[in-house]
Structure 1
Amino acid sequence: MKSFNEVVRELSDPTSRQALKAMRRGIEREALRIEKTGHLAMDSHPKALGSALMHSRITTDYSESLLEFITPVFENIDELVEDLTCTHAYSVRNLNGQRLWPVSMPCYVGDVADIPIAEYGSSNNGKMKRLYRKGLTYRYGAQMQIISGVHFNFSVSDALWSRLYALSDTKMSKAEFISESYFGLIRNYRRLVWVLPYLFGASPALCGSFIKDQPTDLPFEKVGKGTLYLPYATSLRMSDLGYTNHEQNSLSISYNNLSDYLDGMNSAISMSSENFAKIGVKVDGEYRQLNANVLQIENEFYSPIRAKRVAQGNEKPSESLARAGVEYIEVRALDVNPYSAVGIEKSQIRFLDLFLLNCLLQPSLASSEAEEAEIAANLEAVVLEGRKPGLQLTQNGIAIGLSDWLTSLFDNLGEIAKLLDNDADSEYQQALAHWHKAVVNPDETLSGRIIKMLKHEQIDHNQWVMQLAQDYYQQLNDYSISDSVLARYQQDAQQSLDKQAASESLGDVSFDQFLADYFGQKS
């Protein structure tokens, strides 16, 4: 196995550098619709945005109120952010004065029983999507499901894979090598995942109403009238208060290779849960959940990163991977960035490029149970007290200062940045320098900036967020969209509605039979 420095040297020629630069990225950003008062929108998904079931760019997640904006895949970062911004701007123009909640943690929810579960129409596919979300409600409660995040989809170029394959001494086929390498990336990402909440975690504080019914022993402090915060927290979204599932602690999904991962996932989706069985699956003729397993479907597996492949037809995610291997990875550890109208900044995207390339190019040994425990402990420490002076983490069983580990990491990222930049363009090195300020001074992290502002201004978190929502509402309303782009969005919306209507007009089998067929397929 070659060292990182050896691989970097072998990729320093012009052809290899060009292959490195040709990364492909997509973004999925979640955002709650809110009324001018700040309260959660309770109305249906706006018709002007099209069909949430069929639209490729604008859909919903758990709730009718939880929008999800999806970009196509881009190589160019400026084009990626432009596309995401246009989708936001078109949507805001069609929300009848509603705003987008610009942070991860919700507020002003009222009675959680009133949170509207997303509707997808009368087709069996639509019914299944809604029932899955209904099951999530019974299992974890609605409030956890309306926490928002940003997902970053990433792959490297075919040219880079050809170069890396040629440099390797593997006996595997190229397709096997690609999947194996992506799993190496995933293992290294998991070892370093704490870096993302440290730098980009943006939920160190929340509205007190969010935990009104949840017991917690976290030592919260208070600012303003009702804002709760932890002095050194980075991402409460990723804590036990956020998007977690303790039932999944019984699962042991291996990331050591594709075969082991698929075996673990197939076992997980057929593993029964005593707790979820108590809910019932079909009670008095009405479904409450898809099944009583630990996972209803694979999407319920909460992981900060996923191996992905674009599905064909009605393939399950694991079936797509089994058919042709890993095509890209999905980063799921990102809070919504409140300092951006679209939830993420270009400097973050460039950092993620460097971070993920580092995870790919570094040696990646198989992980053990002991290392998995270490990974979980490091992540929890950073989520709850990542900005604490002198914080110690554990690396290969040895204590290491968070700042020392970050300094070493940034040195490696700097080597990759030099390969990606050229004489006329130093955007990667500039992005790295920007986020290096947060290594030197934790107040420069997103969470540090938020806590510093809240304490200095002595204002409530929700008051600050409402002002941001108003500012971004105006900014996105004023954003220039050409007539041709506007017409495309209108056409996409109508075509998605027509596509849903056409699917609902077909003679479907009964829903019971549909579910039996779906879960009867071999994975």
Structure 2
Amino acid sequence: MTHFTNTLSARLGQLQANGSETLLCGGFKGIEKESLRISRDGVIAHTPHPYALGSALTHPHITTDYSEALIELITPPFADIRDTLGYLQHIHQFVYAHLGQEILLGASMPCGISGDESIPIAEYGSSNVGKMKHIYRHGLWHRYGRTMQAIAGIHFNYSVPEALWPVLHSQENSPLSLADFIAVSYFGLIRNFQRVGWLILYLFGASPAICKSFFKSRPELMAQFEQFDAHTLYHPYATSLRMSDIGYKSKNQANLDIDYNSLSGYVESLSRAINTPYPEYEKIGTVVDGEYRQLNTHILQIENEFYSTMRPKQIAQSCEKPTVALRRRGVRYVEMRSLDLDVFDPMGIEEDTARFSEALLLTCLLTDSPLMTSQDHRTNNANQLLVAHSGRKPGLELARNGGGIGLQEWADEILDAMRPVCGVLDAGHPQQPYTAALNTQQAKVDNPDLTASARLLAAMRGRSQAFAGFAIAKSAEHAQYINGQPLDEANTQAFIDMAAQSHARQQFIESQPQLPFAEFLHRYFTQTCNETA
């Protein structure tokens, strides 16, 4: 997708000629949503993760991310996105029944923080597994600061329909085994997404402004921004500062050259970063005065520290490293990590957004995907940063094939290529929801004022509100909406049971004999551990 060839049309045409095009439908979609717990007056919560929600260590659907206050809601994967979003709503309803006077911040960029020390690091109990999770977060604090870790987002998980793989494998006359073909295809999808993923930031980015309090621990960064009002900094044409170099994109990782040309290359390059000492982190130390500051002094402590817009994923078994799980069992799904929270939607993501994302990922799968060079990586990253900071700027040009192309022209190309895919996904749906979602995004390409980032700034101006005031007010509206629709008795009992089971599971883990923590870490990194060791 450096440019659009006839590859997609040919592959789609073959599927249609064989009557197999409906195999594109029904890929599983899951959502992970992070939200900062805050008080009604907008201050980050310093209360523990509510006990009634279950154990953050072991609950499958309600946990915490970096901070004790940064709740993470995880749906199971469903073939119908309406089921995914329905489950997400059920989790919200159960959570809100146990938040007391707190609410969930509906914006990605944090409000109500006052420097790193105001952000409590998540706790996971006394087991070695729990300690490892906590110490990893301590390492992130020492490396990047806690403020960056308080940013919230949406992860959209997608797996290609299983029944599609043998047909594509045969259609391509691939000499590879089916398992290898699946891995190659997923990495082709990822490379294409890296080329065009800036479009997600343009369309759905909702973090063009930041509270000044965000910079208390890094005041030197404030000079990069214009002042919106006495409490808010912004870029006039920004889309997603969350995905910029002051958000999730870390300058410490700018020189990491992770290989997306193959599964083996990805595993090897990521493993190399996890095993390579880094002088700046060696200065921090691992154990200082008897306390762990980080898991190790390497470029990455573990795989999750690598901040990427998309990750290939495999479900890891107990104490299994993600790279080992990928090497052993291949790619099971991809995790798209570049969606901001939609501050205008109580769930943080609209159905149109999810449908568009699915169609874009299938288009990335079916389109030819050349291997990438280091220069390609730099170009893709530069395009993303440019759109994050200035995506709505009139006449903005992005880099492509050694030259430049207007953002609007390139976006039109991508959406045109997606149209036949949306047509297939709409089969059996009289209202054509995928095509409707595509048309909604086309309107945003034609008129940047319709994008979430532009609407957010316009609403702040219209209400004469700072970013924090607007975000807190919208979050309170969402809380009122969710509290006004209490969860039914059957689903409530199901979540109560899950919470009890998760606490029992944590207690069981902690009741088992524990190795000395240093020995446990050694066994984890050498993959000779078990969950309770």
TM-score normalised per structure 1: 0.97
Q: Which residue of 2 aligns with 1:115?
A: 119
Q: How does 1:30-109 map to 2 (within 5 A)?
A: 30-109=34-113
Q: 2:468 aligns with which of 462, 468, 490?
A: 462
CA distance in 2, matches of 1:224, 1:35: 23
Alpha-carbon shift at residue 41 of structure 1 (Å): 0.4
Distance of aligned partners of 1:143 and 1:267 in 2 relative to their CA distance in 1, 3 Å threshold: same
CA distance in 1, matches of 2:219, 2:183: 41
Q: How does 1:467-482 map to 2 (within 5 A)?
A: 467-482=473-488
What is the SS of the residue equivalent to 1:216? Answer: helix
Q: Which residue of 2 aligns with 1:483?
A: 489
Distance of aligned partners of 1:158 and 1:197 in 2 relative to their CA distance in 1, 3 Å threshold: same
* Residue 137 of structure 1 pairs with residue 137 of structure 2: no
* Residue 436 of structure 1 pairs with residue 442 of structure 2: yes
Letter in 2 for 1:158: E
Identity %: 42
Note the alpha carbon deviations across 1:105-153, whole angstroms, 9 max, x for none.
Answer: 0111124213211110011100110010011111111111110011011
Q: Which residue of 2 aligns with 1:273?
A: 278
What is the SS of the residue equivalent to 2:96? Answer: helix
CA distance in 1, matches of 2:47, 2:224: 37
Alpha-carbon shift at residue 13 of structure 1 (Å): 5.2
Letter in 2 for 1:190: Q
Distance of aligned partners of 1:185 and 1:46 in 2 relative to their CA distance in 1, 3 Å threshold: same
Q: 2:156 aligns with which of 152, 156, 159?
A: 152
Note the alpha carbon deviations across 1:71-101, whole angstroms, 9 max, x for none.
Answer: 0110011111010011011101101120001
CA distance in 2, matches of 1:99, 1:15: 49
Contact 2:35 2:71 in 1 (8 A): yes
Letter in 2 for 1:199: L
Note the alpha carbon deviations across 1:373-425, whole angstroms, 9 max, x for none.
Answer: 21111111101100000001111112110000011111111111111113624
Contact 1:223 1:458 in 2 (8 A): no
The two structures, once aligned, show a CA RMSD in angstroms of 1.5
Contact 2:245 2:385 in 1 (8 A): no
CA distance in 1, matches of 2:142, 2:349: 32
* Residue 234 of structure 1 pairs with residue 243 of structure 2: no
Contact 2:115 2:147 in 1 (8 A): no
Q: How does 1:246-261 map to 2 (within 5 A)?
A: 246-261=251-266
Q: How does 1:365-514 map to 2 (within 5 A)?
A: 365-422=370-427, 424-514=430-520
Q: 2:328 aligns with which of 305, 323, 327?
A: 323
Alpha-carbon shift at residue 11 of structure 1 (Å): 2.1
Q: 1:353 aligns with which of 344, 352, 358?
A: 358
What is the SS of the residue equivalent to 2:63? Answer: strand
Q: 1:362 aligns with which of 357, 364, 367?
A: 367
Contact 1:12 1:419 in 2 (8 A): no
CA distance in 1, matches of 2:210, 2:271: 37
Contact 1:224 1:458 in 2 (8 A): no
Q: Which residue of 1 aligns with 2:198?
A: 194
Alpha-carbon shift at residue 522 of structure 1 (Å): 8.0
Alpha-carbon shift at residue 249 of structure 1 (Å): 2.5
Alpha-carbon shift at residue 244 of structure 1 (Å): 2.6
Note the alpha carbon deviations across 1:299-354, whole angstroms, 9 max, x for none.
Answer: 10111100111112221111011101111100011111111111111000000011
Q: 1:172 aligns with which of 168, 173, 176?
A: 176
- How many residue pairs get aligned? The number is 523
CA distance in 2, matches of 1:62, 1:351: 29
* Residue 517 of structure 1 pairs with residue 505 of structure 2: no
Letter in 1 for 2:191: R
Alpha-carbon shift at residue 155 of structure 1 (Å): 0.8
Shifted more, 163-172 versus 244-253: the winner is 244-253
Shifted more, 172-181 versus 6-15: the winner is 6-15
Alpha-carbon shift at residue 245 of structure 1 (Å): 2.4
TM-score normalised per structure 2: 0.96
Note the alpha carbon deviations across 1:246-285, whole angstroms, 9 max, x for none.
Answer: 2223321110011111110111100111111111100111
Q: How does 1:209-224 map to 2 (within 5 A)?
A: 209-212=213-216, 213-216=218-221, 219-224=224-229
Q: 1:8 aligns with which of 5, 12, 25?
A: 12
* Residue 124 of structure 1 pairs with residue 128 of structure 2: yes
Contact 1:27 1:151 in 2 (8 A): yes
CA distance in 2, matches of 1:155, 1:296: 27
Q: 2:296 aligns with which of 288, 291, 301?
A: 291
Q: 5+ residue gaps in structure 2? A: none
Q: 5+ residue gaps in structure 1? A: none
Letter in 1 for 2:433: E
Letter in 2 for 1:520: T
